[in-house]
């Protein structure tokens, strides 16, 4: 394994006293050389996983569980406080241009990353690797168009040759052609040996491009289903996954009723039944049941 | 005024169609050598053109404002109850007969309508004749020539000192916001902001010159001695320190605010996620981003620097042009007062323009519409 | 937190105002009476704050000074706010070209050193209360205009304005009956926030000798008199008026900031999940 998330629970207290349940008992394994896609509707808590892997949770966050990155030197606990960002795990952020310092060129920041991490690469080399014209690096972040900014972000993530790459909604504001390009780039990164965690709400692109090896489905801070992507697309085991797939244009465009719940002060049990009252996999204590290399959430059997 | 769009209003990178967004290099652009899409060099040149355009517009704007202020000055002078003959005749005012006063008025042109006086002044100005200063008994040009260097020395040194103190303390306070240094410095700034510079000057004189006797109380030199470098420096210390302290609070609070805002911005989180260590983030990410707004604030505060210089020069009897404003206002020495007022206005506006140009050069996101 | 500051600042101000009002009344000493035999006395039981170079008791004189300073400052702040409200409402309401011209004018006024214009105006119309008030008001209305203008701009979008228009109200009626009254809280805050600036300016102008005549001294005038006393060793002539000036300025400034925090609704925070 290159990235292992074990029983991660994240609670974010708000100033007015309520608590946001960003993640509840999430466990995920991302083997090296593969892309695991974490999907769910907006606001289900998936992005908090990106912050958690990079140990950049908001101040005041309460967490339990562990996140381990396997490096050539051994296992590394990301919450331990040892330097690892960029070297062993890297982030491709959502709005890449705003994650770069506005008054410096892309090149200057990329060079800085390279020097800090002690990487043997050069920024031109990284630019070419991600399909960018090296002269584009001389732009300021706000001068980069969306696709270029995203590629600069990937270049920055690759600078230290990390074992784990977390991509947080990398194609959120891109059109189809650019989405396919960026996803293809991530595929190349995985093929080169990295473990890629791809967080996205764009299930349609995943189905279309087939870049993901494994799929994990999240709803209201909990995992609903995991498994090899192709199998899950063909034969989803959880009602929610079926709902998500059913909402795709290619599968008939049956949108889900209602909207995803707010994560504030969620009850202790899975709340999917509030969205789909007829489901038999929610509405009481639930657990993730593992069957082979797939798992799905269902009501726990009263022992 | 240029506006700094600190990352909140910047053009979203790639909303929908990417090709051909204004001000960005298109995604699928052919290589620059194929010569069709705008390259990075083109973007830079375009920006420099925009900056020049802004300079031109602002210079044009200065002209009507200066004209309005100067015309207003002359009109107001005419309608004021102050009789210019008082200044001219001095103690003989009471003893001169009305008939003689009328003749003198006519000779000196005191009975002309204000716009006639104004136009005459403008013509003289462009012809190089700045007039005669009644309160100093010298040509205006000589008054300016003798006094301007001292004001530049005072204001320049004070501004440099204020900028350094504001940057150092402001960044330190902002980086560790909420800490002891931050709270202490902020509280001090709030108190100092309430003090008029003349109160500070009086207090400084009372404590350091009169009570402790460490530093001289006034003037450029002791008694009527010739100015020496050492002497001038000794006399420079108190006025410069007081003027600098009076300007520090706004500058410091602006820097601190800028740093605190930057800390919470995405680009800092991005740098952290790339593994950049915290001191480097402060030095090479937060500080450069905060500098442009800081220069902006310096430009905005220039009028207050001038006001501070006027007060400090007045209280410390520093022989500069700022203090001369007060003298010429007291005596209603129109020749000198008009020139000084208009001159100060122009200098302040040009200074503000320079600051805006520097801001536009430092921060590529800033709009040049100001 | 803001409420606590407001209470503290308000109490300090109340004490100062009581001082300014009660002391001259109770002391029965006319601060205009000069008695050179008593000149330059250090603070004592008879004269709490000492006497000045003309023998006038400073404790009482400072009280008058506070009164004059605050009254003049209040007049300036009110006038500046009225001008600012009118200009800001016009700009926000009409929009388009008039708005741009008005905003350019405010930029121009802002660009000029306030005190200089003030000095020039009062130099020409010396000793006149109107000149002092005008010189400060005419250079300080811009901040108010800006705030009122943005209030108007955001208020124009509110549904109840649309409702009024649909119900048949003319543009002028909408402006006068709905928009302007809605800016009242901001205008009130503007008056309070302007007070410290007005006190600052008025005391500076008085200090330079352009203020009110000496029988109506403001704190600035007292400080100008202190300037010559200092050299002869009368520290009390400086310390007490200066301390009072600083306390008044700070108390008003704090009260204004706290008032603004109390009246303005807090902003919601954002969290990205």
Q: Can you give the residue range of the structural domain that contains B110? A: 46-132
Q: How far is it, in rounded angstroms, from Cα B164 to Cα B162?
A: 6
Say if A237 falls within a structural domain.
yes
Q: Cβ separation of B275 and A150 shorter than 8 Å?
A: no
Q: How far is it, in rounded angstroms, from Cα C116 to Cα C122?
A: 10
Say if B367 falls within a structural domain.
no
Lowest mean pLDDT among A177-191, A276-290, B77-91, C153-167: B77-91
Average pLDDT score over residue span A17-22: 91
Say if B158 falls within a structural domain.
yes
Residues of B whose CB is below 8 A from C210: 329
Say if A299 falls within a structural domain.
no
Q: Cβ separation of C104 and B195 shorter than 8 Å?
A: no
Q: If pLDDT is split at 50, 70 and 90, which confidence band does B3 have?
A: very low
Same domain? A82 vs A175: yes
Same domain? A174 vs A156: no
Q: Are C194 and C138 in contact (CB under 8 A)?
A: no
Average pLDDT score over residue span A189-205: 92
Other Cβ atoms less than 10 A from the Cβ of B213: the count is 9
Q: Fill in the DSSP letter of residue A217.
A: E
Q: Is pLDDT at A94 greater than 90 in this prediction?
A: no
B contact residues 290-349, partner A, Cβ 8 Å cutoff: 291-292
Structure tokens at B110: 């005191």
pLDDT of B84 reads 66
Q: β-strands A164-168, A89-92: how paired? A: parallel
Three-class SS state of A214: strand
Q: Cβ separation of B199 and C245 shorter than 8 Å?
A: yes
Say if B370 falls within a structural domain.
no
Nearest by CB: A54 against B29, B273, B362: B273
Instruction: Give the number of domains in chain B.
Output: 3
Nearest CA in chain B to A82: B275
pLDDT per position as a tens digit, A236-282: 999 999 999 999 988 888 888 888 888 888 888 888 888 888 888 88
Q: Can you give the residue range of the structural domain that contains A58? A: 2-88+162-265
Question: Alpha carbon C258 to chain centroid distance?
Answer: 16
The shortest C-alpha distance from A55 to chain B (Å) reads: 9
pLDDT of C273 reads 52
Q: If pLDDT is split at 50, 70 and 90, which confidence band does B4 have?
A: very low
Q: Is pLDDT at B274 greater than 90 in this prediction?
A: yes
Averaged pLDDT score across all residues of chain B: 80
Q: Is pLDDT at B14 greater than 50 in this prediction?
A: no
| Residues composing chain A | 303
Single out the residue in B132, B161, B192 at which a domain terminates. B132
pLDDT of B141 reads 86
Hey, is the C-beta of A228 within 8 angstroms of any chain C C-beta? no
Same domain? B116 vs B155: no
List of chain C residues with pLDDT < 50: 269-270, 272
Q: Are A120 and A175 in contact (CB under 8 A)?
A: no
pTM score:
0.81
Q: If pLDDT is split at 50, 70 and 90, which confidence band does B102 have?
A: confident
Q: What are phi and psi of C268, to 5 degrees?
A: -70, 150
- For B339, half-sphere exposure in the C-beta direction (CA atoms, 13 angstrom radius) is 24
Hey, is the C-beta of B178 within 8 angstroms of any chain A C-beta? no
Say if A296 falls within a structural domain.
no
Give bridge partners of residue A226 from the DSSP assignment. Answer: A216, A295
Nearest CA in chain C to B347: C112
Instruction: Give the number of domains in chain A.
Output: 2
**Quick one: CA torsion of A31, A34, A40, A43, rounded to 10 degrees?**
70
Nearest by CB: A103 against B40, B280, B288: B288
Say if B226 falls within a structural domain.
yes
Q: Name the region of A116 (left: φ>0; alpha: ψ -120 to 50; beta: rest).
A: alpha
pLDDT of B341 reads 86
Say if A202 falls within a structural domain.
yes
pLDDT per position as a tens digit, B118-152: 887 788 878 777 777 877 888 888 888 889 999 99
Chains in contact with C, where contact requires at least 3 CB pairs less than 8 Å apart: A, B
Q: How far is it, in rounded angstroms, from Cα B303 to Cα B307?
A: 6
The residue ranges of DSSP E strands in chain C, in sequence order, are none
Question: Alpha carbon C13 to chain centroid distance?
Answer: 13
Q: How far is it, in rounded angstroms, from Cα B63 to Cα C102?
A: 17
Chains in contact with A, where contact requires at least 3 CB pairs less than 8 Å apart: B, C
pLDDT of C27 reads 67
Give bridge partners of residue A299 from the DSSP assignment. Answer: A286
Give bridge partners of residue A198 from the DSSP assignment. Answer: A37, A167
Same domain? A146 vs A258: no
Say if B16 falls within a structural domain.
yes
Q: Is pLDDT at B239 greater than 60 in this prediction?
A: yes
Say if B196 falls within a structural domain.
yes
Same domain? B204 vs B332: yes
% of chain A residues with pLDDT over 70: 99
Same domain? B59 vs B190: no
Rounded to 5°, angle at Cα C44 from C43 and C47: 75
pLDDT of B165 reads 95
pLDDT of B16 reads 36
pLDDT per position as a tens digit, B25-63: 555 543 333 334 567 788 888 888 888 898 998 888 888
Q: Is pLDDT at B171 greater than 70 in this prediction?
A: yes
Q: How far is it, in rounded angstroms, from Cα B354 to Cα B91?
A: 47
Same domain? A121 vs A142: yes
Q: Is pLDDT at A211 greater than 90 in this prediction?
A: yes
Say if B39 falls within a structural domain.
no
Q: Is pLDDT at A6 greater than 90 in this prediction?
A: yes
Say if B178 falls within a structural domain.
yes
pLDDT per position as a tens digit, B333-349: 878 888 888 888 888 88
Nearest by Cα to C112 from C138, C81, C75: C138
Hey, is the C-beta of A260 within 8 angstroms of any chain C C-beta? no
The CATH number linked to B210 is 1.10.3720.10
Average pLDDT score over residue span A10-33: 91
Q: What are phi and psi of C54, to 5 degrees?
A: -105, 15
């Amino acid at each position: 394994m290159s990235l292992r998330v074990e029983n991660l629970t994240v609670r974010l207290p708000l100033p007015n006293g309520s608590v946001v349940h960003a993640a509840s008992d999430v466990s995920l394994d991302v083997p090296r050389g593969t892309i695991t896609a974490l999907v769910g509707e907006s606001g289900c808590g998936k992005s908090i996983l990106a912050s958690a892997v990079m140990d950049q949770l908001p101040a005041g966050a309460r967490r339990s569980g562990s996140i381990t990155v396997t490096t050539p030197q051994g296992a590394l606990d990301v919450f331990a406080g040892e330097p690892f960002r960029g070297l062993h795990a890297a982030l491709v952020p959502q709005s890449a241009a705003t994650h770069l310092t506005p008054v410096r060129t892309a090149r200057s920041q990329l060079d800085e990353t390279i020097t800090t991490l002690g990487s043997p690469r050069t920024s031109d080399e990284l630019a070419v690797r991600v399909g960018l014209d090296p002269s584009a690096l001389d732009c300021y972040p706000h001068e980069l168009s969306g696709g270029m900014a995203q590629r600069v972000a990937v270049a920055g993530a690759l600078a230290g040759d990390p074992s784990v790459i977390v991509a947080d909604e990398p194609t959120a504001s891109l059109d189809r052609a650019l989405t396919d390009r960026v996803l293809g780039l991530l595929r190349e990164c995985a093929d080169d040996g990295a473990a890629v965690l791809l967080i996205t709400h764009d299930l349609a692109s995943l189905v279309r491009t087939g870049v993901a090896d494994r799929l994990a489905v999240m709803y209201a801070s909990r995992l609903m289903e995991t498994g090899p992507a192709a199998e899950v697309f063909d034969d989803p085991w959880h009602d929610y996954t079926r709902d998500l797939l059913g909402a795709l244009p290619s599968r008939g465009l049956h949108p889900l009723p209602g909207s995803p719940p707010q994560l504030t002060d969620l009850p202790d049990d899975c709340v999917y039944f509030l969205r789909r009252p007829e489901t038999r996999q929610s509405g009481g204590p639930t657990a993730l049941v593992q069957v082979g290399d797939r798992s799905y959430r269902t009501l726990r059997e009263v022992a | 005024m240029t506006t700094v769009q600190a990352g909140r209003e910047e053009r979203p990178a790639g909303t929908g169609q990417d090709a051909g967004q204004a001000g960005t290099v298109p995604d699928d652009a052919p290589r620059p050598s194929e010569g069709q899409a705008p390259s990075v060099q083109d973007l830079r040149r375009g920006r420099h053109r925009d900056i020049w355009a802004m300079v031109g517009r602002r210079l044009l704007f200065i002209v009507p404002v200066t004209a309005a202020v100067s015309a207003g000055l002359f009109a107001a002078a005419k309608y004021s109850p102050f009789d210019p003959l008082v200044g001219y005749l001095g103690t003989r005012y009471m003893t001169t007969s009305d008939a003689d006063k009328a003749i003198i008025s006519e000779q000196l042109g005191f009975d002309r309508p204000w716009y006639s006086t104004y136009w005459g002044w403008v013509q003289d100005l462009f012809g190089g004749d700045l007039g005669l200063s009644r309160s100093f008994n010298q040509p205006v040009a000589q008054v300016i020539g003798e006094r301007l260097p001292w004001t530049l020395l005072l204001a320049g040194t004070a501004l440099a000192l204020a900028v350094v103190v504001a940057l150092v303390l402001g960044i330190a306070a902002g980086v560790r916001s909420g800490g002891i240094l931050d709270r202490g410095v902020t509280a001090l700034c709030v108190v100092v902001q309430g003090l008029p510079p003349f109160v500070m000057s009086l207090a400084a004189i009372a404590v350091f010159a009169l009570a402790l006797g460490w530093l001289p109380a006034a003037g450029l030199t002791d008694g009527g001695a010739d100015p020496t470098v050492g002497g001038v420096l000794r006399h420079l210390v108190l006025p410069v320190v007081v003027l600098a302290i009076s300007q520090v609070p706004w500058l410091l609070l602006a820097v601190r605010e800028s740093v605190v805002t930057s800390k919470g911005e995405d680009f800092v989180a991005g740098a952290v996620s790339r593994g950049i260590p915290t001191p480097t983030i402060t030095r090479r990410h937060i500080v450069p981003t905060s500098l442009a707004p800081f220069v902006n604030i310096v430009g905005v505060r220039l009028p207050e620097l001038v006001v501070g210089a006027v007060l400090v020069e007045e209280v410390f009897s520093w022989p500069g042009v700022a203090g001369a404003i007060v003298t010429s206002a007291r005596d209603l020495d129109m020749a000198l007062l008009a020139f000084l007022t208009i001159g100060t206005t122009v200098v302040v506006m040009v200074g503000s323009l320079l600051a805006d140009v520097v801001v536009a050069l430092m921060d590529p996101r800033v709009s040049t519409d100001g | 937190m803001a409420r606590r500051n407001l209470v503290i600042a308000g109490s300090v101000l109340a004490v100062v105002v009581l001082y300014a009002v009660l002391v001259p009344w109770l002391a029965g000493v006319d601060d205009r009476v000069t008695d050179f035999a008593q000149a330059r006395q250090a603070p004592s039981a008879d004269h709490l704050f000492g006497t000045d170079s003309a023998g006038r008791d400073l404790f009482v004189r400072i009280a008058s000074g506070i009164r004059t300073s605050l009254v003049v400052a209040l007049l300036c702040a009110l006038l500046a706010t009225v001008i600012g409200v009118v200009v800001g409402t016009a700009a926000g309401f009409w929009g388009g070209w008039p708005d741009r011209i008005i905003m350019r004018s405010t930029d121009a006024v802002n660009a000029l050193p306030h005190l200089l214009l003030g000095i020039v105006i009062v130099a020409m119309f010396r000793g006149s209360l109107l000149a002092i008030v005008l010189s400060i008001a005419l250079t300080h209305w811009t901040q108010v205009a800006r705030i009122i203008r943005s209030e108007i701009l955001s208020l124009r979008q509110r549904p109840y304005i649309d409702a009024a228009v649909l119900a048949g109200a003319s543009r002028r009626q909408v402006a006068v009956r709905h928009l302007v009254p809605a800016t009242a809280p901001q205008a009130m805050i503007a008056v309070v926030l302007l007070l410290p600036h007005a006190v600052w300016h008025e005391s500076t102008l008085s200090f330079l000798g352009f203020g009110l005549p000496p029988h109506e001294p403001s704190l600035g005038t007292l400080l100008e008199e202190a300037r010559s006393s200092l050299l002869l060793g009368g520290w009390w002539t400086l310390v007490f008026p200066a301390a009072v000036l600083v306390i008044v300025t700070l108390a008003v400034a704090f009260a204004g900031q706290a008032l603004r925090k109390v009246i303005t609704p807090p902003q919601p925070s954002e969290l990205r999940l």
